[in-house]
Chain A
Amino acid sequence: MLNAEMSQATLPNLTGIVDANRRTDLVMAGIGISVLIIAMSLLAAVVIDLIVGGWPRLMNPDFYLNFPSRHPLKAGIVSAWVGTILVMLVTAGIAIPLGVGAGVYLEEYAARNWITDFIEINVSNLAGVPSIIYGLLALGLFIHGFGLGETILTAGLVLALLILPVIIVSTREAIRGIPLDLREAAYGLGADKWQTVRLYVLPAARSGILTGTIVGLARAIGEAAPVITIGALTFIAFLPPSPLQASPPFINFEWLESPFTIMPIQMFNWVSRPQAEFHINAAATGVILMLMTLAMNGIAIWLRYHLRRQIR
């Protein structure tokens, strides 16, 4: 009797609760999806705004081959993209060996002690140090301390230090992903530590390390702050000396000591001008810069996806 009453009283209630739950769930999913849509439409707005803004210049071949100029319609980005490529060469040349080496050391060599712990905290903290602080390091140490000047070498060096943590962390993750039994197989044959690392661990971790390196370099390509800090925001209407030459020894390193400009700085320069004509140039530069970074990030994401499937 009592039971019957209770179930009659509570049953409609329960369905009410279930319905209410379903509603909150729907609302919640809706909020999540709308945040996603807002974020993605911001990205779309950025891309469209740049393309529309920079269209007239993007379509003009001179834009890619001219030097910067006081006349917005004659100004181009040739010194910027050449500078970006050369700076990236230096950055990659320094950051990859240092970052991969540090990652290998921490993962394969380091004993579990407070020194390792300290290096780990240090790396994770460096990853969070604002890029402009690296600029101050370069200004105080590389320029005024070592007298390297406002050169491609200095810029490449500071960007290399900036992306070092990215490469270290991804190298460690890639190495950690290698199954233990591969390592035991190598040691079981009598390989020493370095042989194991060089012949078996590094080749197996190759694509993971490559992914992290590309992500790091994509970040470096878009960075302006540390390079501005070293005082590189100048008018550059010439190209650095070519790294290759016709006569032996065919390679020269004078370009390392050359003044330069890079894409993000050129863009910042033009955004900061009051005249709207320069903003067109800025937008066009932005499109090319985004193409570079998005392409690199896209490759990295694809590599990671590909890698995950390979492991499965």
Chain B
Amino acid sequence: MTQKIFHDQHVTQLSPKTEPPPHAQRESLAAEIRKLSFWYGETQALKEITLSIAYRKVTALIGPSGCGKSTLLRSFNRMHDLYAGNRYSGEICLFPENHNLIELDPFMVRLRIGMVFQKPNPFPKSIFENVAAGLRIQGVQNKKLLSDRVEQALRDAALWEEVKDRLSQSAYGLSGGQQQRLCIARALAPQPEILLLDEPTSALDPIATAKVEDLITDIRNRFTVIIVTHNMQQAARISDFTAYMHLGKLIEFAPTGELFTTPQETLTRDYITGRFG
């Protein structure tokens, strides 16, 4: 019942597509998802998700496995388009242009939105070339610009001090945690409008995890970050806003502190108190 009311509210709030959101709010938003549904073939994985992404804040997506949080994240840079039989409906609006990501060319979308995957996946190239990859793909050839950007991205990813003397060595020589930070630097170097992190610490040990969390905290004022995590404590530690998803639906969305202290929905409460999940 609550679910129903919740949905109806949204429809009335957001349905007039032509009318942009109030100015002040739009300034503070990086993106807005409106009634986004997604199908893997016949299976519906996302059901009319509506969600706002705050500009230069960290938004966490949590929920039990299979709830659709990774699916939602991968919709942002249209990763699903790589595989046949997938289908979207609804909008993901990127501000300030108010571009609907679902209707843009997926390759263009990915130039604007960075992504880091569950397992570190550096290219079999040097550390420098890994970080420069995104810039090269955008056609940057200026050496000075490349090396400046690479240094900046490595500093952002808190990796510069560890690798500055061996930039030309293979990325495979790094430890798992360093590789993941390298992947973050690789995603940051082209300065994406949104950085997507898909359970970035799930393959890492606690120390490496702490380093990644620290760097996310460091860049939160300069990048808009969306992070999927199965770890509620992690969401509580590093995010400004948290969305709880269940079976392809968005159940609750609130500032992180509120969601964890005073959840409004029974499902959310059950999940964060560990009764379910």
Known: A184-B82, A195-B137, A199-B136. A189 touches B186 (CB 8 A): yes
Residues of B within 8 A of A203 (CB): 124-125
Residues of B within 8 A of A204 (CB): 124
B136→A185 contact, CB < 8 A: no
B110→A187 contact, CB < 8 A: yes
B183 at the interface (CB under 8 A from A): yes
Find the A residue at minimum CB distance from B196: A188
Residues of B within 8 A of A186 (CB): 123, 133, 137
B134→A189 contact, CB < 8 A: yes
Interface residues of B in 121-151 (CB under 8 A from A): 121-125, 133-134, 136-138
Interface residues of B in 95-115 (CB under 8 A from A): 107-112, 114-115
B123→A190 contact, CB < 8 A: no
Interface residues of B in 16-47 (CB under 8 A from A): none
Known: A195-B137, A200-B123. A188 touches B77 (CB 8 A): yes
A190→B107 contact, CB < 8 A: yes
Find the B residue at minimum CB distance from A181: B121
- Which of B77, B119, B124, B190 is in CB contact (< 8 Å) with A181? B119
B79→A188 contact, CB < 8 A: yes
**In the complex, number of A-B residue pairs with CB atoms less than 8 Å apart:** 64
B138→A190 contact, CB < 8 A: yes
Known: A181-B121, A182-B123. A188 touches B137 (CB 8 A): no
B82→A190 contact, CB < 8 A: no
Known: A195-B137, A199-B136, A203-B124. A189 touches B190 (CB 8 A): yes
B123→A185 contact, CB < 8 A: yes
A189→B114 contact, CB < 8 A: yes
Residues of A within 8 A of B108 (CB): 190
Residues of A within 8 A of B1 (CB): none
B117→A188 contact, CB < 8 A: yes
Residues of B within 8 A of A182 (CB): 121, 123-124
B5 at the interface (CB under 8 A from A): no
Closest CB in chain B relative to A194 CB, distance in Å: 11
A191 at the interface (CB under 8 A from B): yes
B187 at the interface (CB under 8 A from A): yes
Find the B residue at minimum CB distance from A192: B107
Interface residues of A in 78-120 (CB under 8 A from B): 111-112
Closest CB in chain B relative to A187 CB, distance in Å: 6
Measured in the bound complex, the distance between the Cα atoms of B125 and A204 in whole Å is 10
Closest CB in chain B relative to A309 CB, distance in Å: 14
Find the B residue at minimum CB distance from A182: B121
Closest CB in chain B relative to A175 CB, distance in Å: 14
A188→B187 contact, CB < 8 A: yes
Interface residues of A in 132-162 (CB under 8 A from B): none
Chain B interface: which size bin? 20 to 34
Measured in the bound complex, the distance between the Cα atoms of B114 and A189 in whole Å is 6
B207 at the interface (CB under 8 A from A): no
Residues of B within 8 A of A200 (CB): 123
Interface residues of B in 68-110 (CB under 8 A from A): 77, 79, 82, 84, 107-110
Known: A184-B82, A199-B136, A204-B124. A189 touches B117 (CB 8 A): no
Residues of A within 8 A of B112 (CB): 190
Measured in the bound complex, the distance between the Cα atoms of B188 and A188 in whole Å is 12
A184→B137 contact, CB < 8 A: no
Residues of A within 8 A of B124 (CB): 182, 203-204
Chain B 174-197, CB-CB to A under 8 Å as 1, else 0, gives 000000000100110010000000
Residues of A within 8 A of B117 (CB): 181, 184-185, 188
Find the A residue at minimum CB distance from B108: A190
Residues of B within 8 A of A112 (CB): 84
Measured in the bound complex, the distance between the Cα atoms of B190 and A184 in whole Å is 17
Known: A184-B121, A199-B136. A189 touches B110 (CB 8 A): yes
Chain B 234-269, CB-CB to A under 8 Å as 1, else 0, gives 000000000000000000000000000000000000
Find the B residue at minimum CB distance from A195: B137
Q: Which residue, A183, A188, A199, has most C-beta atoms of chain B within 10 A?
A: A188
Closest CB in chain B relative to A298 CB, distance in Å: 26
Measured in the bound complex, the distance between the Cα atoms of B109 and A200 in whole Å is 20
Measured in the bound complex, the distance between the Cα atoms of B82 and A186 in whole Å is 12
Closest CB in chain A relative to B173 CB, distance in Å: 14
Residues of B within 8 A of A183 (CB): 82
Residues of B within 8 A of A111 (CB): 84
Measured in the bound complex, the distance between the Cα atoms of B187 and A192 in whole Å is 16
B79→A185 contact, CB < 8 A: no
Measured in the bound complex, the distance between the Cα atoms of B134 and A185 in whole Å is 10
Residues of A within 8 A of B134 (CB): 189-190
Residues of A within 8 A of B79 (CB): 184, 187-188
Residues of B within 8 A of A185 (CB): 117, 121-123, 183, 186
Residues of A within 8 A of B109 (CB): 190
Interface, chain A (partner B; CB < 8 A): 111-112, 179, 181-192, 195, 199-200, 203-204
8 cross-chain pairs, A with B, having the tightest CB-CB distances, nearest first:
A190-B111, A190-B110, A181-B121, A188-B115, A189-B134, A185-B121, A191-B137, A192-B107
Besides the known contacts A190-B108, A191-B110, A203-B125, 11 further A-B residue pairs in the complex with CB atoms under 8 A apart: A181-B117, A182-B121, A182-B124, A183-B82, A185-B183, A186-B123, A187-B79, A188-B110, A188-B115, A190-B110, A192-B107
* 8 A–B pairs (Cβ distance < 8 Å), ordered by A: A179-B121, A181-B121, A184-B121, A186-B123, A188-B187, A190-B107, A190-B110, A190-B190
